[in-house]
Structure 1
Amino acid sequence: MKEYLLSIYQPDDTPPPDNLDEIMRDLYALNDEMRAAGAWVFAAGLHAPSTATVVRAQGNDMLVTDGPYIETKEHIGGFTVIQAADLDEALDWGKKMAAVITLPIEVRPLADH
């Protein structure tokens, strides 16, 4: 089985939807469904991009800066790592997640380790 990253993209500076409790309930149910199917590996939400710190090598020095690496209109708000037989199966889980949380989901295979 290959592993895939399901990245949740959300708009910056947008208040949470009024039905956030319902969305989270449905997301927990989807996580349970993925666990039961043997697909779920790990999931986590992330704090706002403003909490990020970037470490960059510059010659022999390290430059540390506040804020996200890239200024964008969207950011990764959370992610799930799954196991799937192939991309089609991973996309099926991504579609279910997009339906539950009503945000774009990027499905990307993890490099073999």
Structure 2
Amino acid sequence: MTQYMISVSHNAAEGPTMENMDLAVIQPIIDAVDAFNDKLREAGAWVFAGGLQPIQATTTVDNTGDTPVVTDGPHAQFAEYLGGFWVIEASDFDAALGWAKAASQACAGRVEVRAFQEDPA
């Protein structure tokens, strides 16, 4: 089976983000995501998932020069950022797309679905 990443993006310019939402607003989303996670596990599609700390908690590391440069904050300043993700296994892209549709509904936002690269060996 192929592994796919379903990524959840947040856009700070579009309104409140999870870190500043009222618990009464966010709790139904948390419950829906928990139920979605249970469905992934029951179907044998679950590999791994996780939510990320807010974008402000990012540290950027650039070790491409003579010395590493470690900077607080994201590499680039964009309104949109990765908020979390699932890694799933699916028989094909259509199956992964079905899971992505359910993920989008559960987390009440846009998601992207993308296959992992095949091992060249």
Q: How many residues align?
A: 113
Residue of structure 2 aligned with 1:110, choices 88, 112, 116: 116
Separation (CA, whole Å) in 2 of partners of 1:64 and 1:83: 34
Q: Structure 1: give runs of 5+ residues left out of the alignment.
A: none
Distance in 1 (CA, whole Å) between partners of 2:113 and 2:47 is 14
The structure richer in strand per residue is: 1
Counterpart residue number, 1:16: 21
Q: TM-score, normalised by structure 1?
A: 0.92
- TM-superposed CA distance for 1:10, in Å, is 1.1
Give a deviation string over 1:26-81, Cα, whole Å, max 9, x none: 11011000101010110111001111111112422111111011211111111110
Aligned partner of residue 63 in structure 2, secondary structure: strand
Structure 2 stretches lacking a partner, 5+ long? none
TM-score, normalised by the number of residues in structure 2: 0.86
Structure 1 ranges of 4+ moved more than 3 A: none
Look up the equivalent residue of 1:102 and give its one-letter code.
A
Match of 2:91 in 1: 85
Give distance in 1, aligned partners of 2:65 and 2:25.
Answer: 49
Distance in 2 (CA, whole Å) between partners of 1:82 and 1:110 is: 10
SS in 2 for 1:76: strand
The 5 Å alignment of 1:23-102 reads 23-102=29-108
More helix by share: 2
- Whether 2:6 is the aligned partner of 1:6: answer yes
Deviates more, 1:5-14 or 1:100-109: 5-14
Distance 2:21 2:84 in 1: 14
- Residue by residue over 1:62-112, the C-alpha shift from the partner in whole angstroms, topping out at 9 and shown as x without a partner, is 111110112111111111100001111111000001112221101011123
Partners in 1 of 2:2 and 2:73 — Cα distance?
A: 33
